[in-house]
Amino acid sequence: MNSLLAVIRRDLLLAMRRKSEVLTALFFFMIVVSLFPLGIGPEPALLRKIAPGVLWVAALLATMLGLQRMFAPDHADGTLEQMALSPTPMGLLVGGKIAAHWLVSGLPLVLLAPVLGLQFDLDAGALGVLVVALLIGTPLLSLIGAIGAALTLGVRGGGVLLSVLVLPLYVPALIFGAGAVEAHISGLGAGGHLSLLAALLALAVFFAPWATTAALRIALE
């Protein structure tokens, strides 16, 4: 447990040293979301309808930006090999890195989303559901993304390849996440969507660190 916290602390410290990257992803999220009303038109009814989908798709893309750097620097300076050789199970350390990635690139999106939701004329209830859905969904994105990041570690054309691998796997998260907000707006209640999203998260917490570890060991061979 201590080593898990140590990994998280270390990654957060490293992220603090390169604040600009974290902020760039956040601004990317804001800009993408703000482009849609400009492209589609400012009618509030239409904007309310597309808001959940737009915010979620933008969140997917913004998470993608940080993924490639999840393991690449550690791979370059040999930290990853140290982790593979350390007595602590590597899955745990990888879990720590994923958690740190979420804290740096997922959590800010969750906090920023309600502000952007205001641009789309969402009411307070819908904003609440959006935050809860993103709170469950963004860790899921980090977990699935970690597998892709590990598979494409040190591979040529890694960035584009990573999005080709990972984005199709994001489809369920997108559907249930955006669906929760839509269901709430249309009065159906978001409970079903949110519990399915939570079930996916539970599944991913169990399997993703394991698959990521296997992929990392292959990359290290």
The label of the residue with tokens 């038109």 reads: 41
Q: How many CB atoms lie within 10 A of CB 4?
A: 16
Taking the complex as a whole, the smallest distance from the CB of residue 165 to other proteins amounts, in Å, to: 4
Residue (15 or 211) nearer to other proteins, CB: 211
Residue 171 is encoded by which pair of tokens? Answer: 């489809």
What is the C-alpha separation between 115 and 34, in angstroms, rounded?
11
Give, in order, the Cα–Cα distances in Å from 212 to each of 43, 76, 79, 125: 44, 17, 16, 36
26 binds other proteins (CB under 8 A): no
Stretch that binds other proteins, among 20-28, 42-50, 63-71, 149-157 (CB under 8 A): 149-157
Of 151, 185, 190, 201, the residue at the interface with other proteins (CB under 8 A) is: 151
Q: What mask, x for binding other proteins by CB under 8 A, covers residues 108 to 147?
A: ---------------------------------------x
Query: Using the 8-state DSSP alphabet, how is residue 69 labeled?
Result: T
Q: Work out how close the CB of 192 gets to other proteins at its nearest, in angstroms, rounded to a whole number.
A: 9
Q: Does 206 bind other proteins (CB under 8 A)?
A: no
Segment lying near other proteins (by CB under 8 A), choices 11-19, 34-42, 61-69, 167-175: 167-175
Choose, by CB under 8 A, the member of 164, 189, 195, 202 that binds other proteins: 164
**Which among 200, 207, 157 has a CA at the least distance from the CA of 175?**
200
Shortest distance, position 89 Cβ to other proteins, whole Å: 18
- What DSSP string describes 141-206? HHHHHHHHHHHTTT-TTHHHHHHHHHGGGGHHHHHHHHHHHHHHHTTS-SHHHHHHHHHHHHHHHH
Positions touching other proteins (CB under 8 A) are: 147, 151-152, 155-158, 161, 164-165, 167-169, 171-172, 175-176, 179, 182-183, 196, 200, 207, 211, 214-215, 218-219, 221
